[in-house]
Amino acid sequence: MSDLNYWEPRSLLDAVSLLANLGDQVRPLAGGTDLLVKMKKGPINWKGIVNLKSLTELKGINKKGETIMIGALTQISSLLENPLVQIHFPVLVDAARSLGTPQVRNLATIGGNLCNASPAADVALVLLMYEASLLITGPNGSRKVPVQAFYVGPGQTVLQQGELLTAIEMALPPLNSKGVFYKHGKRKSHEIALVNVAVLLTPQPGTKQIARARIAVGSVASTQLRIKDAEDYLTDSLATLSVFEQAAKLAKEAVDPIDDVRSTASYRKQMVGVLTRRALVEAWGGDL
Ligand SMILES: Cc1cc2nc3c(=O)[nH]c(=O)nc-3n(C[C@H](O)[C@H](O)[C@H](O)COP(=O)(O)OP(=O)(O)OC[C@H]3O[C@@H](n4cnc5c(N)ncnc54)[C@H](O)[C@@H]3O)c2cc1C
């Protein structure tokens, strides 16, 4: 660690040109709660870090028309306190609350949770469920990527050399939408998910018909997944227990987990079914 070079650019332009010139030799640093852990575990194959902390233009939460923009350097703790997020994206608040401890949440950023590309990431899973778009700036300009197209594999994203994630954009969901986030781990708190599930249901006002359904699951494939088959099945269906059970079955069939030190694949698959059913019932909330 002591031999590492260190840069602290003052503007996005400077950060991007530094990263583009230094290439694979360096890594951007946001809150450091993933990167510093990786560096301490070692070995690492880079020679310096570019600390993003002075890029104030990458911090903050603002409403722009019918969308919300969240700067990539916004801390996870800020999501918990923000009234816009609380009103329009309550499931994001639940996921943020489940991430680490207060000390970790004060350092960790929303952008870091996405760019670390862990299949178990909690906040990133809910951003997938809310169909976020990611704003990226690099040496060749800016581009927008839907979050479902951001991941290439575990720990890998579509970010090219010199590119930084700058902001997350989300359309405000209909106000009658109701969502739920479940994180299943071995402990009640301070735990990385064995399986996490996020759902959002939008009823047709005044009816039992489901106008829109979103389901995302994590820790059960090489990247986080939207369960399109189950979403399509739910859309326009009447909300009943058997409909939610069938959607949960489709979710279970769609995932492809692996055995690892924390859980078996078959347990994870089973839990996708259990948690999806439970989340749909809780999100609907009314009589079934
Ligand atoms: C004790 C502990 C508990 C944790 N618990 C949880 C948990 O419950 N749930 C969970 O999901 N995570 C958890 N984490 C992981 C971590 O806190 C989160 O993933 C966090 O959001 C990472 O954000 P960061 O700002 O610290 O990222 P960093 O560590 O700074 O960066 C992570 C990666 O993203 C890259 N990066 C960061 N920002 C950008 C950017 N704007 N553009 C391009 N690349 C970028 C970095 O180069 C690095 O590769 C935990 C970590 C610790 C240490």
Asked if residues 50 and 7 have their Cβ atoms less than 8 Å apart, the reply is yes
Residue 1: pLDDT over 60: no
What would the mean pLDDT of 174-184 be, rounded to a whole number? Answer: 96
Q: Count of residues for the chain?
A: 288
| Closest Cα to atom 3 of ligand 1 | 100
Return the CATH number at 10: 3.30.43.10
Q: Is the CB of 71 under 6 A from ligand 1?
A: no
What would the mean pLDDT of 147-164 be, rounded to a whole number? Answer: 97
Residue-level pLDDT at 153: 96
Domain boundary among 123, 147, 171: 171
Domain boundary among 171, 198, 215: 171
Burial class (CB in 10 A: 0-12, 13-18, 19+), 148: middle
CA–centroid distance, residue 200 to ligand 1 (Å): 25
- Rounded Cα distance between 272 and 288, Å, is 21
Amino acid at 211: A
* Three-class secondary structure of residue 104 per DSSP: helix
Answer yes or no: do 27 and 94 share one domain.
Answer: no
Report residue 19 as tokens: 């990263």
Return the CATH number at 256: 3.30.390.50
Q: Is the CB of 121 under 6 A from ligand 1?
A: yes
Domain boundary among 128, 144, 171: 171
Tell me the pLDDT of the chain averaged across its residues. Answer: 95
Answer yes or no: do 160 and 65 share one domain.
Answer: yes
Answer yes or no: do 90 and 127 share one domain.
Answer: yes
Strands ordered across the beta sheet of 141-146: 61-64, 67-71, 164-171, 133-138, 141-146
Answer yes or no: do 64 and 132 share one domain.
Answer: yes
Answer yes or no: do 124 and 45 share one domain.
Answer: no
Answer yes or no: do 120 and 183 share one domain.
Answer: no
- Rounded Cα distance between 163 and 25, Å, is 14
Task: List pLDDT tens digits, range 261-288.
Answer: 888 999 999 999 999 999 999 999 978 8
Q: Is the CB of 165 under 6 A from ligand 1?
A: yes
Q: Say which DSSP state 33 is in.
A: T
Beta bridge partners of 165: 136
Question: What Rg do the C-alpha atoms of the chain give, in angstroms?
Answer: 19
What would the mean pLDDT of 186-190 be, rounded to a whole number? Answer: 61
Residue-level pLDDT at 169: 98
Residue-level pLDDT at 187: 60
- Rounded Cα distance between 60 and 167, Å, is 9
Answer yes or no: do 13 and 65 share one domain.
Answer: no
Return the CATH number at 166: 3.30.465.10
Q: Is the CB of 272 under 6 A from ligand 1?
A: no
Residue-level pLDDT at 192: 81
- Rounded Cα distance between 32 and 38, Å, is 9
Residue-level pLDDT at 43: 85
* Three-class secondary structure of residue 135 per DSSP: strand
How many domains does the structure of the chain reveal? 3
Task: List pLDDT tens digits, range 20-42.
Answer: 999 889 999 999 999 999 999 98
Asked if residues 194 and 185 have their Cβ atoms less than 8 Å apart, the reply is yes
Atom of ligand 1 minimally distant from the CA of 75 = 25
Answer yes or no: do 246 and 196 share one domain.
Answer: yes
- Rounded Cα distance between 117 and 156, Å, is 6
Closest CA to 201 of 237, 185, 177: 177
Residue-level pLDDT at 51: 98
CA–centroid distance, residue 21 to ligand 1 (Å): 24
Atom of ligand 1 minimally distant from the CA of 191 = 8
CA–centroid distance, residue 61 to ligand 1 (Å): 19
Residue 182: pLDDT over 90: yes
- Rounded Cα distance between 185 and 225, Å, is 18
Q: Say which DSSP state 149 is in.
A: G
Answer yes or no: do 94 and 127 share one domain.
Answer: yes
Q: Look up the domain containing 279 and give its range.
A: 178-284
Answer yes or no: do 107 and 190 share one domain.
Answer: no
Answer yes or no: do 25 and 64 share one domain.
Answer: no
Closest CA to 124 of 34, 53, 59, 217: 217
Answer yes or no: do 248 and 224 share one domain.
Answer: yes
Model confidence band, residue 186 (pLDDT cutoffs 50, 70, 90): low
